[in-house]
A = this chain, B = another copy of it.
Amino acid sequence: MAPTKVNIDLQNERNKCTFNVEELTNFLDEGPQNTKNRRELEKKILSIKGIRDEIPEEYLSHKEKYENAVRKSVLLYKAIKDNNDKNTPLEEKIRASFRNVISSAIFKDNSPFMLHNAMFLTAILGQANDEQREYWLKRAENYEILGTYAQTELGHGTFLRGLETQATYDSNTEEFILHSPSITAYKWWPGGLAHTANYCMIMAQLYIKDKNYGLQPFMVQIRDEETHMPLPGIHVGEIGPKLGFNTVNNGFLGFNHARIPRNWMMMKNAQVLKDGTFKASPNSKLVYGTMVYVRVTILNTASIYLAKAVTIAIRYAAIRRQSQLKNGEPEPQILDYVTQQHKLIIAIATAHAYHFTVRWLWDLYVKVNKELGRGQLDNLPEMHSLACALKVISSADCTALIEKCRMACGGHGYMLSSCLPFLYGVSTATCTYEGENTVLLLQTARSLFKAWGQALKGQPLSPSMAYLADKSPSSTFDGTLDGIIKSFQVVAKGKLSASVSSFEQYLASGLDPEDAWNKASIQLTNAAEAHARVLVLTAYKTEVERKTVTLSPPLKTVLHQLLELYFIFWTLEKMGDLLLYTNLSEKDVRVLQKRYEDLLEKIRPNAVGLVDGFDFRDEVLNSTLGAYDGRAYERLMEEAQKSPLNAEPVNESFHKYLKPFLRGKL
């Protein structure tokens, strides 16, 4: 088979697609110019000599993986630096970059430089005063220094007040003394920290004259700029292999009375004067801005990871043939099995749902951020609570569906060359980092609990929780999309109400409020998840309806079919809750099930067109199963030939170990 020929089954799928795929791509990119820019950047970066691997990373040792990743990182980041457009406002640049994923053509498992941009620069922007910002941002943006950000410690993550690293002010020398008082105080996890970064922003407990002033951010030089040797008082190294991110060089960092100048404490929000006077931050809530930003980007990556996984799985399902539906007929494409459609089409719809939700949330973020700049903080709690709840379900849903996509590819999905295990590895991490999901659900539950009390008192609620104040919501189920949103609101309210009652009963039984809260916490997290469900359904529907107005009818139709499928899927998935809190009937369930099965049938012919519309280049997908031409078997075999083990017909271990064993000479 010639390399350029497209698998006939895949070609047939494309022939029967009812909409214009390029129109979909432009729509997802928010305009043809964005598509053009993205493709040009991709092309430019892929044309850099040596930037892609000849032998896949997964054959290398852990050390070789790192060295190879540094080699490629300097090529990639040089290009990113050269490409930096300083004229476009940052917020626009970020929005336009939501679908820029070219780095995954270079790294299946990310770069050791990734935290320099993602966290180090962000932390400087959020924590440095003007003078500090001028100095550090310039050096960092020009890549004169390479940085990372360290907060989590070996023994402490979620509970920030529990962090142990100390920064003690010495007014004699006007320095801070950084110290890790125990093994659990070691910083642990930051990408690039181990052998790559020479600077690091750390969070530490500030002490002045034996008094603790809470967590503050400090810039630390960890390695000599000339020799890269760790500086005195710095104990730095790598933490070892992980489920993913194995080219990221995650590190640990311990301090033994290391000293930094006074003005290396980042002083945007709080200051320490020369004499040791502490000037508190005018508003400590400002730090939430960065957290919210990071969580919005998690929503975006969750949606991108899932879009990639389902592109791979749908294309493979179109070329894989298996079993017999009917005697005497050829083996059908596995995409024709309704159970397979059930696994995969919801994954397309979910990638869309979060695609729209993140853009809706970004608009809000930009608005709230502008308000913050004017010192107006009213909408920050709402923004923070939305970002919490949506971070949780986007990461959880997308991770679960990526794994479903992988398993829908059978054994071949288990091959690293399919790229699906890598996608799972980086995606599942988002459920844990930047706020562990259960912890965030409990935080969301706190906001809901508070809102519930306010609603009872007739006080105004933030827009996303306003439905809690609806005194007599109709528990009549109707199958329209708006009706489904209403029903999910009724469910969220019902679950919140039940957990509040449960909490109150535990309280009445004699428990302390904290213990009563703990005992009711399973129900509280369920209520928080139900609320998050309302948010996504609402955002997805609002945005699709608002944004598809100018699209051609065929594309509009299929985008609305996906929207409807998403709504019906979740109605069936949460059937128990709806039976409990609305008047949903057994007959309704049967009707919904039929409607769902019919929607799968309607969307099925456009499945390949829909994933083609995500417009991931083969290099970006990095997958033997998912390439545009559908030559999955050939690629699996070609990729296997790259194994260094396959370079020799007989491995030396035969002579050394195996033969003596088989001869009974051990």
A-B contact pairs, 19 of them (CB 8 A): A59-B240, A60-B61, A61-B61, A62-B644, A63-B645, A74-B660, A74-B661, A75-B666, A157-B410, A189-B411, A228-B654, A240-B416, A407-B428, A410-B436, A502-B594, A519-B601, A522-B596, A523-B593, A576-B576
Give chain A interface residues in 477-523, CB to chain B under 8 Å. 498, 502, 512, 514-515, 518-523
Contact mask for chain A residues 63-86; partner B; CB cutoff 8 A; 1 contact, 0 none: 110110011011101100000000
A66 to B188, CA, bound (A): 30
**Known interface pairs A415-B239, A521-B338, A644-B63; A575-B580 also in contact (CB < 8 Å):** yes
- Could you tell me if A519 and B324 are in contact, using CB atoms closer than 8 angstroms? no
- Could you tell me if B158 and A515 are in contact, using CB atoms closer than 8 angstroms? no
A246 to B234, CA, bound (A): 36
- Could you tell me if B662 and A237 are in contact, using CB atoms closer than 8 angstroms? no
**Residue A432 interfacial (CB < 8 Å):** yes
A223 to B649, CA, bound (A): 10
- Could you tell me if A407 and B432 are in contact, using CB atoms closer than 8 angstroms? yes
**Residue A54 interfacial (CB < 8 Å):** no
Residue of B whose beta carbon sits closest to that of A57: B241
Give chain A interface residues in 414-444, CB to chain B under 8 Å. 414-417, 421, 428-429, 431-433, 436, 438-439, 442
A660 to B142, CA, bound (A): 13
Give chain A interface residues in 195-237, CB to chain B under 8 Å. 195-196, 198, 223, 225, 227-230, 237
- Could you tell me if A415 and B645 are in contact, using CB atoms closer than 8 angstroms? no
**Residue A623 interfacial (CB < 8 Å):** no
Q: Which residues of B contact A650 (CB under 8 A)?
A: 195, 223, 227-229
- Could you tell me if A74 and B657 are in contact, using CB atoms closer than 8 angstroms? yes
Count this chain's copies in the assembly: 2
**Residue A47 interfacial (CB < 8 Å):** no
**Residue A322 interfacial (CB < 8 Å):** yes
Q: How far is the CB of A67 from chain B (nearest CB, A)?
A: 5
- Could you tell me if A154 and B637 are in contact, using CB atoms closer than 8 angstroms? yes
| Chain A contact residues, CB within 8 Å of chain B | 56, 58-64, 66-67, 70-71, 73-75, 77-78, 142-146, 152, 154-159, 161-162, 183-184, 186, 188-189, 194-196, 198, 223, 225, 227-230, 237-244, 252, 320-326, 331, 336-340, 342-343, 403, 407, 410-411, 413-417, 421, 428-429, 431-433, 436, 438-439, 442, 498, 502, 512, 514-515, 518-523, 525, 574-577, 579-580, 586, 589-590, 593-594, 596-597, 601, 633-634, 636-637, 639-646, 649-662, 664, 666
Residue of B whose beta carbon sits closest to that of A72: B657
**Known interface pairs A322-B157, A645-B66, A652-B67; A637-B183 also in contact (CB < 8 Å):** yes
Q: Which residues of B contact A521 (CB under 8 A)?
A: 337-339
A539 to B11, CA, bound (A): 50
- Could you tell me if A415 and B240 are in contact, using CB atoms closer than 8 angstroms? yes
Q: Which residues of B contact A194 (CB under 8 A)?
A: 645-646
A634 to B186, CA, bound (A): 11
- Could you tell me if B645 and A195 are in contact, using CB atoms closer than 8 angstroms? yes
14 extra A-B contacts, CB within 8 A, seeds A67-B651, A157-B410, A241-B417: A58-B240, A70-B653, A70-B654, A155-B321, A156-B322, A183-B634, A195-B654, A223-B650, A237-B646, A239-B415, A240-B415, A337-B521, A338-B522, A339-B521
Residue of B whose beta carbon sits closest to that of A579: B579
A338 to B523, CA, bound (A): 10
- Could you tell me if A338 and B62 are in contact, using CB atoms closer than 8 angstroms? no
- Could you tell me if B183 and A651 are in contact, using CB atoms closer than 8 angstroms? no
- Could you tell me if A658 and B228 are in contact, using CB atoms closer than 8 angstroms? yes
A512 to B327, CA, bound (A): 12
